[in-house]
Chains A and B, each alone.
Chain A
Amino acid sequence: GEEVAQTPKHLVRGEGQKAKLYCAPIKGHSYVFWYQQVLKNEFKFLISFQNENVFDETGMPKERFSAKCLPNSPCSLEIQATKLEDSAVYFCASAMYATYGYTFGSGTRLTVV
Chain B
Amino acid sequence: GESVGLHLPTLSVQEGDNSIINCAYSNSASDYFIWYKQESGKGPQFIIDIRSNMDKRQGQRVTVLLNKTVKHLSLQIAATQPGDSAVYFCAETVGNNDMRFGAGTRLTVKP
* CB of B75 within 8 Å of the partner chain: no
Chain B residues near A41: list those with CB within 8 A: 103-104
Chain A residues near B42: list those with CB within 8 A: 106-107
Interface-located stretch among A12-20, A72-80, A94-102: A94-102
Mark out the residues of chain B between 72 and 107 whose CB falls within 8 Å of any chain A CB in the assembled complex. Answer: 87, 89, 91, 93, 95-104, 106
Chain A residues near B21: list those with CB within 8 A: none
Q: How large is the interface on A (under 10, 10 to 19, 20 to 34, 35 or more residues)?
A: 20 to 34
Tell whether, in the assembled complex, residue A48 and residue B98 are in contact, meaning their CB atoms are under 8 Å apart. yes
The digit string for A61-77, where 1 denotes a CB below 8 A from any CB of B, is 00000000000000000
Q: In the docked arrangement, what's the CA distance between A100 and B106, Å?
A: 24
Interface size on B, residues (CB 8 A): 25
Tell whether, in the assembled complex, residue A98 and residue B43 are in contact, meaning their CB atoms are under 8 Å apart. no
Q: Looking at the complex, which one of A93, A99, A102, A107 makes contact with B96 (CB distance below 8 Å)?
A: A99
Q: In the docked arrangement, what's the CA distance between A100 and B51, Å?
A: 11
Tell whether, in the assembled complex, residue B43 and residue A99 are in contact, meaning their CB atoms are under 8 Å apart. no
* CB of B45 within 8 Å of the partner chain: yes
Chain A residues near B32: list those with CB within 8 A: 99-100
Q: Looking at the complex, which one of A4, A99, A103, A106 makes contact with B99 (CB distance below 8 Å)?
A: A99
Selected A-B contacts with CB under 8 Å, 22 pairs: A4-B43, A31-B98, A33-B99, A35-B101, A40-B87, A42-B89, A42-B104, A43-B44, A45-B99, A45-B100, A48-B98, A91-B43, A98-B97, A99-B96, A99-B98, A99-B99, A100-B93, A102-B44, A102-B99, A104-B43, A104-B45, A106-B42
- Which residues of A line the B interface, CB within 8 A? 4, 31, 33, 35, 40-43, 45, 48, 55-56, 91, 93, 98-100, 102-107
The 5 tightest CB contacts between A and B, nearest first, are: A104-B43, A43-B101, A99-B93, A42-B103, A48-B98
